[in-house]
Amino acid sequence: MRPFDASGAFAPSVPRGGKALRSLAVRGAGMNIFSGVMSLGIQVAATVVLGRILAPRDFGLVAMVLTFSMLLANTPNNGFIDAILQRKEINESLASNLFWISTGIAVTLTGLFALAAPLVARFYNEQTVIRIAVALSLQILLTCAPTVHAALLRRAMLFPSLAMNDIVARAMGVVTSIVLGLAGWSYWALVAGQLMMSLSTAVGVWILCAWMPKSPAVEETRDALRFAGHIGVRYSINYFVRNFDNLLVGWRFGANPLGYYKKAYDLFAMPMTQLVSANANVAVSALSRVRDDRAQWTRYVLGALGMLAFIGMALAGDLTLIGKDVIRVLLGPNWGTAGWIFTFFAPAIGIMMVSGVHGWIHVSLGHAERWLKWGIFEWAVTCALFLAGLPWGPQGVAVAWSASFWALTLPSLWYAGRPVDFGVMPVVRAIWRYIVASLAASVAAYAVLAHSWWLRNLEDTAGALLRIVCVTATFGVLYLAAVVVLHRGPAPLRTMVTLIGELRGRRRPATVANNTSRVVTAPSVE
């Protein structure tokens, strides 16, 4: 894609509403979901292999460093992406200025983190961390360097190309880690995999977006930088909250318990990462284009909430029942502690997915400063809960995570929608039936399992796999039945079937095909 024409104006033509925009957004979300499924498969394969050739301590050591390094990598990255997506107009001069500013910040942060490696080691009282931190400092630069190019691709809604690039990059990183792990590189295999994934992502984005930034020019960038700054700080706060638990567990209990805790958390966060976070740019792009049509904007938001609740509450109920067995099948019998910790995470999977929509609302409406204010409040509440749960060990911190999502989701959506009178009651009406259905199906499925003593007492990996299949099938039937009963009909199921059809591209209007053909000026990955 060549993002700018000869005059410096943004070249790709993207619809601002109607069925064409919906089709682009749905297909983009569909490709992101496909990418998420593929990434999940890659991650599961990596977990199965690496969990057997590396020690929990190896994962814990790398997690100690990534807690800090990814914070610095995401600070400029997310802020500049959202600033480019949310603006009504963008030209080549502004994009070039943002590129050089972003790159300058990345170079500075890379150097500072490498110099700060001894401080990270002192915090954990683990000298091995110094070498890992110096190596992973390069990931900050590799992550930030393609930021503006990736944002331009997202603004043109070329999500299929980005999704395929992400799949390839993840595969490259995993293959690198597995090969080096088999060669006996221990934690260095994980470090090399991280660097390879970031390098592959950057190279792929630069190939897809054939654009060379111009020299810095006098251009009004203050508004864009202010918006990017608010978003960047908000993401930094969010990242700190999302990793403060790792800091506490690693500091209080050491690398081994942190390795167990991190694997449990990764499984907990996977649905949020693959279904919500992966589609955030699609949602923001679509909602930003219809924000002046409040009725259509509201329908989009409520539709997203209902869909995420339908999927998320099902995952929460099922994984609460089978989480231990999933960990055993994926990682082996030596990771039983991680399975125990995961059972305290799982009940919050659904509400965590629903909570992610409040960020879409803030950014699409252009209220980055309100999102930042909410982030500060969320940080205070969540960190207080972590500290309260810490005396009970890693599982106490997991309970704190679950409690924070259940306590903060409705207030976060109310605060996000307040400037446009988007209240709490429509949100409650969109999600409550799925919560009740999940709870009822979980209790009923657990009762069935409790009376199936032969299934409950199977202890080997094959038995765990059989339990996963039987419990999931039982829960799934009960959950769908409860959803139909509570909605007094199969309307939600029909909606999901229709959406799946659209995701598969069955209803792609010709107008959308015309729009996308004008966007793509280089060979498409799709």
Taking the C-alpha atoms of residue 208 and residue 3, their distance in angstroms, rounded to an integer, is: 10
Percentages of the chain per state (helix, strand, coil), in multiples of 5: 85, 0, 15
Taking the C-alpha atoms of residue 50 and residue 187, their distance in angstroms, rounded to an integer, is: 10
pLDDT in tens, 338-369: 989 999 999 999 999 999 999 989 988 888 88
- Mean pLDDT in residue range 319-341: 88
Q: Count of alpha carbons within 13 Å of 20, Cβ hemisphere only?
A: 13
Q: Are 359 and 367 in contact (CB under 8 A)?
A: no
Confidence of residue 515 (pLDDT cuts 50, 70, 90): very low
**What is the three-class DSSP state of 84?**
helix
Q: What is the residue type of 147? A: T
Q: Are 295 and 311 in contact (CB under 8 A)?
A: no
- Mean pLDDT in residue range 251-279: 83
Residue whose structure tokens are 């050591």 = 61
Which of 143-152, 332-341, 381-390 has the largest mean confidence?
381-390
pLDDT at 510 over 70: no
Q: Count Cβ atoms within 10 A of the Cβ of residue 488 and give its class: 0-12 exposed, 13-18 middle, 19 or more buried.
A: exposed
Q: Residue 523's pLDDT is what?
A: 28
Beta-bridge partner residues of 80? none
Confidence of residue 219 (pLDDT cuts 50, 70, 90): low
112: enclosing H helix or E strand: helix 92-115
Taking the C-alpha atoms of residue 14 and residue 299, their distance in angstroms, rounded to an integer, is: 20
CA 43 to each of CA 47, 177, 350: distance values in angstroms, whole numbers, following the listed order: 6, 11, 21
Confidence of residue 242 (pLDDT cuts 50, 70, 90): confident
Where b means 16+ CB within 10 Å and e means fewer, 213-242 reads beeeeeeebeebbebbbbbbbbbbbbbbbb
- Mean pLDDT in residue range 495-512: 55
**pTM for the predicted model, two decimal places:** 0.71
**What is the three-class DSSP state of 54?**
coil
Taking the C-alpha atoms of residue 436 and residue 81, their distance in angstroms, rounded to an integer, is: 37
Question: What are the start-end ranges of the E strands in 238-369?
Answer: none
The secondary structure of residue 156, as a DSSP letter, is: T
Q: Residue 6's pLDDT is what?
A: 63
Residue whose structure tokens are 């001894």 = 118
- Mean pLDDT in residue range 490-498: 81
pLDDT in tens, 131-178: 999 999 999 999 988 989 998 888 887 888 888 898 999 999 999 999
Confidence of residue 481 (pLDDT cuts 50, 70, 90): very high
| Greatest Cα pair distance in the chain | 74
pLDDT at 457 over 80: no
Q: Residue 424's pLDDT is what?
A: 92
Taking the C-alpha atoms of 505, 510, 511 and 512 in order, what is their torsion angle to the nearest 10 degrees? 20
- Of residues 79 and 105, more confidence is placed in 105
Taking the C-alpha atoms of residue 247 and residue 387, their distance in angstroms, rounded to an integer, is: 11
Residue whose structure tokens are 């989701």 = 409
The secondary structure of residue 460, as a DSSP letter, is: S
- Of all residues in the chain, the percent with pLDDT exceeding 90 is 40
pLDDT at 18 over 60: no
CA 374 to each of CA 140, 370, 428: distance values in angstroms, whole numbers, following the listed order: 26, 6, 20
Which segment of 48-57, 133-142, 204-213, 309-318 scores lowest on mean pLDDT? 48-57
Whole-number mean pLDDT of the chain? 83
pLDDT at 5 over 70: no
Candidates 273, 267, 285; CA nearest to 88 is 285
Categorise residue 322: left if φ over 0, alpha if ψ from -120 to 50, beta otherwise. Answer: alpha
Q: Which two tokens stand for residue 232?
A: 């960047």
Q: Residue 409's pLDDT is what?
A: 96
pLDDT in tens, 26-70: 666 667 677 777 877 887 788 788 888 888 889 889 988 988 888
Confidence of residue 259 (pLDDT cuts 50, 70, 90): confident
- Of residues 124 and 130, more confidence is placed in 130
Helix 117-124 vs helix 129-144: crossing angle, to nearest 10: 130
Q: Residue 286's pLDDT is what?
A: 77
Q: Residue 506's pLDDT is what?
A: 46
Confidence of residue 502 (pLDDT cuts 50, 70, 90): low
Q: Residue 513's pLDDT is what?
A: 35
Q: Which two tokens stand for residue 421?
A: 């009178």
Length of the chain, please?
526
289: enclosing H helix or E strand: helix 280-289
Taking the C-alpha atoms of residue 33 and residue 473, their distance in angstroms, rounded to an integer, is: 23
- Of residues 227 and 143, more confidence is placed in 143
The secondary structure of residue 272, as a DSSP letter, is: I
